[in-house]
Amino acid sequence: MLAIADAAHAETWTRSALEYASTVHDERTKRWLVALHNNLGWTLHDAGRCTEAMVEFQLAEQWAERIGTPRQQQLAREAIQAC
């Protein structure tokens, strides 16, 4: 939510959340990695940083395949296609 409220620092906030989420052990909480990578991907994409965005979209897809919902898996694939 901080990334939305403070768009000028969205990348920093999202990377901080990714760092925190990567340390949790609960899979339901870890599922946030999918959304965070996806959101960061769109932030980078919108800034014209498409190569970096693709990396984030691919990470979102990897996490979605590991622990995500079917909807997250679909959205991750769609983001890669759009990028």
Contact at 8 Å (CB) between 66 and 40?
no
Give the residue-averaged pLDDT of 1-26. 88
DSSP-assigned letters across all residues of the chain: -HHHHTGGGHHHHHHHHHHHHTT---HHHHTHHHHHHHHHHHHHHHTT-HHHHHHHHHHHHHHHHHH--HHHHHHHHHHHHH-
pTM value surpassing 0.95:
no
Domain boundaries, given as residue ranges, for the chain: 2-82
| pLDDT for 45 | 97
pLDDT at 2 over 90: no
